[in-house]
Amino acid sequence: MEIKVLNWNIGGAKVLEQKCIKMREKVKKEINHDLQKLLKKNTPDIVTLQEVVTYKQPSDSHMNNIIDKKSIDKLGYKCFFFPFIDSLGFSSQDKWEKIKNGKCCEQNCSSRDSNCPDLSTKGSDWDKKSYFAQGNGMLFRKDAPLFPCCDLSKPGEVSPGQRLLTILEQQKINPVGDIKREIDNDFQNYLIEKTPLTRGSYFGDRDTEPRAAIVSHLIYKSPIPGDSRPIDIFVVNVHLTTIMKERVGIPSKDTEATRLRIDQLTAIFDEIISRFNSWYEDGFPQRGVKRKPTDCENWETIERHHPVWLLCGDFNFTEKSLEHDFILRRNFIDTTPTGRRTATVMSYHGKPIRHNGTKTSGAGNPATLTLDYIFAGPKFVALDPLFTDSEMLDNIVDHSVFSSDHYPIISNIPLFMVR
């Protein structure tokens, strides 16, 4: 038994940068084509996405998420979206004003019609009152055993939290009444937690952009015959900070960016992973009192395997960085070894392209950096330390999709390695 995870920064901000409806729909179609292709080809259990965007113009009847949820639903997945920045939640509007005030790019438009502004007289067709949001997304197979983070259900059980969600959905007590409700209407914030990693004012630029960790919890049956203990799998989806003028030869900027990311990683390991694992080691206390087996409801158990943590996302650091070493020193495994990040694929024009990494300077170009990862751990406690390259032969970077400036990672986490 194994858990298959797909991680991809889909580059959704590129959709908002298109100044006419025609080009937005074209870019959206390309992203969704690649996403659906990846789902069909790999059938992952969990998908972690970064740079997902949604928007709504005053004339729109509904929110426009760049992910085609109807198509995703037909493929057997449920989609969650968590905005980190939006045009209503922060006083700074610099990022959104730049989008609204741009010019339509003639060379990108295949024809100039009513959907494409006349370059000589018009700019963007974005309405000044449009709503924008950007953040992370997660997809789960509809049969995924997804539970709230602090749930102690037995495998195969339906916890009180799951029952509550079902009741709320049936009663429709949170109808779509405004933009915020429209995003939160599936009660995702009860089922999946968003933990801020940065604090302070947002000034509409990359340096001050808020960052957060999205934490989900799945409960699986043990693959060991006769073992009734459930396996808790926690998936953390992150998009760590990158700052302006980083990686262009200015050491002080590189140092500052490293410090910021180390702070964010410290928050993940100390305030999320360590906090839950301490709760586990202390016997899952309730308000400071250690829980006994007799305190559990009939759907609960405190006899559980050590929780397995999967850290997925666009980390914005290379495999030679202090940040990468920071994670490895905490006994986590980089599930995509260096040799699995290289490939030669054919371009649209039939020419071979040599890739090395997950990040490119522009969609369709060769990957030259690795910034995206799926880490698993901790070793020795939750995962067998022999979980090495031999168990990761199928873990790859897929360089066959060209709609983003990042390439997706696919990793298989074998549960027989769980301790």
Centre a 10 Å sphere on the Cβ of residue 297 and count the other Cβ atoms it contains.
Answer: 12
Residue 210 lies inside a defined structural domain of this protein: yes
Pull the structure tokens for residue 190.
């009860």
Residue 305 lies inside a defined structural domain of this protein: yes
pLDDT of residue 121: 42
Pull the structure tokens for residue 291.
């829980």
- With 60 as the cut, is the pLDDT of residue 172 above it? no
Residue 308 lies inside a defined structural domain of this protein: yes
- Give per-residue pLDDT as tens, 237-279: 999 999 999 988 999 999 999 999 999 999 999 999 999 999 9
Residue 303 lies inside a defined structural domain of this protein: yes
Number of domains in the chain: 1
pLDDT of residue 208: 94
- With 50 as the cut, is the pLDDT of residue 111 above it? no
pLDDT of residue 43: 96
Task: Quote the percentage of the chain above a pLDDT of 70.
Answer: 80
- Give per-residue pLDDT as tens, 333-384: 999 877 666 666 666 566 777 667 888 887 878 887 999 999 999 988 888 7
Q: What is the DSSP letter of 305?
A: P
Q: Highest-confidence range of 61-70, 120-129, 156-165, 167-176, by mean pLDDT?
A: 61-70
pLDDT of residue 13: 93
Domain that holds residue 224: 145-330
d(CA 286, CA 151): 12
- With 80 as the cut, is the pLDDT of residue 33 above it? yes
User: Going by C-beta distance under 8 Å and a sequence separation of 6 or more, which residues neighbour residue 277?
Assistant: 306, 307
User: What is the chain's alpha carbon radius of gyration, rounded to the nearest angstrom?
Assistant: 22
Residue 309 lies inside a defined structural domain of this protein: yes
Residue 358 lies inside a defined structural domain of this protein: no
Q: How far is CA 102 from CA 51, 92, 110, in A?
A: 20, 18, 19
Global confidence as pTM: 0.89
pLDDT of residue 387: 62
Residue 336 lies inside a defined structural domain of this protein: no
Across the range 211-218, mean pLDDT stands at 96
Residue 362 lies inside a defined structural domain of this protein: no
